[in-house]
Structure 1
């Protein structure tokens, strides 16, 4: 694979992962905000600590969904770009048009050889026929042929 194609596929992978990362971070950030907004401040000793409540469960779900979107998107981007790059490289390696033209070229050569062989056999058959026709006429002149 040449460097231009590799760079293009690497760029596509980067773009897809950045897109899914942005969506995942947005979801996770929204979930973290909802989780923090629904936390109840509780005094633990001399400090106040926010403790999440059940009202923050949608925020937790969004946070988990954001991480899942990022992980899934990264795996999907790898699969998509890797399979695309490999199939493109294999398509160049096994160029069907080139293979087809090679086969047609070999068949043309073989057919040309067969045509030349058939023409030479036909010439030889005509020569043998002329010799046989000439020999029969010559035999009848000698008086040994027909009844």
Structure 2
């Protein structure tokens, strides 16, 4: 594969991973916002600062965080699969020309069939010669 194609597929991989990572980061940010927004300050203090209390709304912020991480990881794997298979398919598409392979196979089969035809013709000739020789053999049966 030449450098131009390699750079093109590397660029696509970079764009896919960057876009999906940013999407995952935005989803994680939304989850963090929901988590922090659900915190309330309770009556207990630690060195004079109130201790935050986790509420039910705060627990709902965990779902987008997990979803954002999943988008990032699955997106990274998809980007690798998509660009790698595309690069390999494009490279093999030029390396292995199916029409050329078909024509080679047909040529080999044609050669084999013509050899078989010649062998059959020579066997038929030999059988005819043996038959003709047997017709004119008169004295050996006594």
Q: TM-score range by the shorter chain?
A: 0.5 to 0.7
Please identify, of 66-75 and 52-61, the stretch whose mean Cα deviation from structure 2 is larger. 52-61
CA RMSD, 1 decimal: 2.3
Name stretches of at least 5 consecutive residues in structure 1 with no aligned partner.
115-147
**8 A contact 1:36–1:50 mirrored in 2:** no
Normalised by the length of structure 2, the TM-score is 0.67
* CA–CA distance in structure 2, aligned partners of residues 52 and 62 of structure 1: 17
Name stretches of at least 5 consecutive residues in structure 2 with no aligned partner.
115-142
* CA–CA distance in structure 2, aligned partners of residues 28 and 18 of structure 1: 15
Give CA deviations for 1:104-135 in whole Å, capped at 9, x if unaligned: 77889x6xxx8xxxxxxxxxxxxxxxxxxxxx
Deviation at 1:18, TM superposition (A): 1.2
Question: Do structure 1's residue 47 and structure 2's residue 49 form an aligned pair?
Answer: yes
Q: Which runs of 4+ in 1 moved over 6 A?
A: 104-108
Which residue does 1:128 correspond to in 2?
Answer: none
Bigger Rg, which one = 1
Deviation at 1:3, TM superposition (A): 0.7
Normalised by the length of structure 1, the TM-score is 0.65
* CA–CA distance in structure 2, aligned partners of residues 21 and 51 of structure 1: 31
* CA–CA distance in structure 2, aligned partners of residues 51 and 4 of structure 1: 56
